[in-house]
Amino acid sequence: MSPSAAPANPFDKAMALVREGRVADAEKLMSRAVNQAAREHGKQSAAYATAQSDMGNMLLRAEQPAWAAECFRAAVAVPAAPGEDPPARLDHQLNLGIALTLSARLEEGAEALRESCAGRLACYGPDHLGYAYGLEPLAEARLRLGDLAGAREALSGGYVSGGTRRNLDWVRPHLDPGGVADDDLLLLADAQTSGGLLVAGEVPGYPVIGSLVAARADGVTLEVR
């Protein structure tokens, strides 16, 4: 390490351990950081909230969203101190909603995301990226709840991730949208997944909602109906 290089903080060290596959060691490291923040600053401090949030982010990357949600919940529970930067708590709340949604606790996730968006609207105003940033996770949660109208409402705020747009751009040359509007296509192309998507298949006991057929002569391989 050069004399000017700053030592890695616990979160950076933990993420390096996660990348090496040493998730248990990363968890121990972040647990020590949380406990240290509690001892030195108290559980009502911004430092404690930050440590819990860092641990939650590490756990999300380690694909442990249920435990991550509890860390973010602890961060949100810390009251904002006078003069404290409100976006930090809004970020904790947004991450709580995302972690709950990834844990299939959809109602709780959608509620946390609604509260986050309301706080972002009050903090930033309707035309700021800080507000728009919270809309896509809310649209995703509402869509997974079967609330298509609510998902469209959230999406209408105008923020769509670059990954979602690239997904749609990639498939568009081979797509027959069948009159489906772009907003609905963007919902179908949502990029918030942890891997590939099963386009068609049959699971015993569940309704069949699609089928695989030969490609059309015009090169279309995917139809939306």
Query: Residues 18-28: pLDDT tens digits?
Result: 999 999 999 99
Would you say residue 106 has pLDDT above 80? yes
**pLDDT confidence of residue 162:** 63
Look up the domain containing 205 and give its range: 162-225
Report the range out of 53-62, 74-83, 122-131 with the highest average pLDDT. Answer: 53-62
Residue type, 199: V
**pLDDT confidence of residue 87:** 79
Query: Which residue would you say has higher pLDDT here, 145 or 69?
Result: 69
Closest CA to 157 of 174, 139, 135, 178: 135
Residue type, 33: A
C-alpha distances in Å from residue 127, one per residue of 114, 121, 130, 158, 179: 17, 9, 9, 9, 30
| CA dist., res. 153 & res. 195, Å (int) | 26
Would you say residue 56 has pLDDT above 50? yes
Would you say residue 53 has pLDDT above 80? yes
Inside any domain, residue 113: no
Would you say residue 108 has pLDDT above 80? yes
Inside any domain, residue 5: no
Inside any domain, residue 92: no
**Arithmetic mean of pLDDT over the chain:** 80
| CA dist., res. 37 & res. 187, Å (int) | 40
What is the number of domains present in the chain?
1
pLDDT digits 0-9 by tens, 141-197: 877 777 777 667 666 655 555 667 777 787 788 778 777 777 677 667 766 554 444
Would you say residue 123 has pLDDT above 80? yes
pTM: 0.67
Please answer whether residues 150 and 142 qualify as being in contact, where contact means their C-beta atoms are separated by less than 8 angstroms: yes
Inside any domain, residue 57: no
SS (HEC) of the chain: CCCCCCCCCHHHHHHHHHHCCCHHHHHHHHHHHHHHHHHHHCCCCHHHHHHHHHHHHHHHHCCCHHHHHHHHHHHHHCCCCCCCCHHHHHHHHHHHHHHHHHCCCHHHHHHHHHHHHHHHHHHHCCCCHHHHCCHHHHHHHHHHCCCHHHHHHHHCCCCCCHHHHHHHHHHHHHEECCCCCHHHHHHHCCCCCCCCCCCCCCCCCCCCCCCCCCCCCCCCCEECC
Query: Which residue would you say has higher pLDDT here, 201 or 106?
Result: 106
**pLDDT confidence of residue 173:** 81
Inside any domain, residue 126: no
Would you say residue 65 has pLDDT above 90? yes
Please answer whether residues 116 and 87 qualify as being in contact, where contact means their C-beta atoms are separated by less than 8 angstroms: no
Inside any domain, residue 216: yes
Residue pointed to by tokens 């891997």: 195
**pLDDT confidence of residue 194:** 44
Inside any domain, residue 6: no
Inside any domain, residue 106: no
**pLDDT confidence of residue 66:** 94
